[in-house]
Amino acid sequence: MFNSFFCGGHCIMGNYWSYMRISTKEERGMQKFNRQSSALEKYAQDNNIHCVGAYQDDASGKNFDRPAWKDIEKAAQPGDTIVFKDISRFTRVAENGRAKYMELMNKGVELIFIDNPTVSTTYIKQLLNVAEKQNLVAKTSLENTVKLLLIVELDRAEQERKILIKRITDGIKNSGKKQGRKPGQLDKMTDELHSDILNYLNDRSIKQVTLMEKHKISRNTLKKYVALVQAEQKK
């Protein structure tokens, strides 16, 4: 899906595009993209660039067989830049990601990962320039360097997500024990509560106390549900 929006400023060379991806099967909809969209728009504003369009997919990151991705790849020309919130929005598989990364960089398309600057093409090109000047590595070694960096960043992102989910789960288990529930038991989050939390995350004018009173839950329980929804959005 493509949405045009103005991000502020004017780009000097080439066009700037932004790309967002989610893969959660439940709760498909625009709300899922808000967190990425906010980060991308802030980046554009902070760097005074004009994004000509935002593309978004609700699809797996295991390959590049995604409708919006195919469109942005066709649209991006040499000198253009594609901006992502993080590397996992581009790919979740280092081998496939490396091949596509090199293809785009060799085409002259810049890739910017806001949360993972060490795998942005500008950083990789700097490494290559230093290596070439000092005759440290052959140019063909760049692909292996890119693959290694992708593996490191993808693994770090996945480990952080797993740790977050484990902490949340452990916290729920401990809370259940204190309240006399069976280990690991927590009232299932209703669709209405899930929707309200998504709205809360996207509109901080909504007060926590409003959700607590509406759904008759404590602040601590609400925080755990909020953390679970945030973890879902990182998938």
Q: Where are the domains of the chain?
A: 2-142, 156-233
Q: Which token pair is 43?
A: 């980046």
Contact between 126 and 96 under an 8 Å Cβ cutoff? The reply is: no
Which residues, in sequence order, are CB contacts of 99 under 8 Å at separation 6+? none
Average pLDDT (24-53) is 78
What is the pLDDT, as a whole number, of residue 10? Answer: 35
Q: Alpha helices, DSSP H only, in the chain? A: 34-46, 67-75, 87-90, 94-107, 121-133, 142-178, 191-202, 208-215, 219-233
Query: CA-CA distance, 85 to 87, in Å (whole number)?
Result: 7
Average pLDDT (209-213) is 84
Q: Which token pair is 116?
A: 């993972």
Q: Pick the residue with more confidence: 95 or 55?
A: 55
Q: Pick the residue with more confidence: 121 or 166?
A: 121
Q: Pick the residue with more confidence: 148 or 70?
A: 70
Vertex 20: Cα angle to 71 and 193 (nearest 5): 135
Average pLDDT (48-76) is 92
Task: Give CATH for domain 2-142.
Answer: 3.40.50.1390
The per-residue pLDDT for range 126-144, each reduced to its tens digit, is 877 776 676 655 555 666 7
The per-residue pLDDT for range 161-208, each reduced to its tens digit, is 677 667 666 665 665 555 555 544 556 788 888 888 888 888 777 888
Q: Given a cut of 90, is residue 95 above it in pLDDT? A: no
Average pLDDT (43-47) is 93
Count Cα atoms within 13 angstroms, Cβ side, for 56: 20
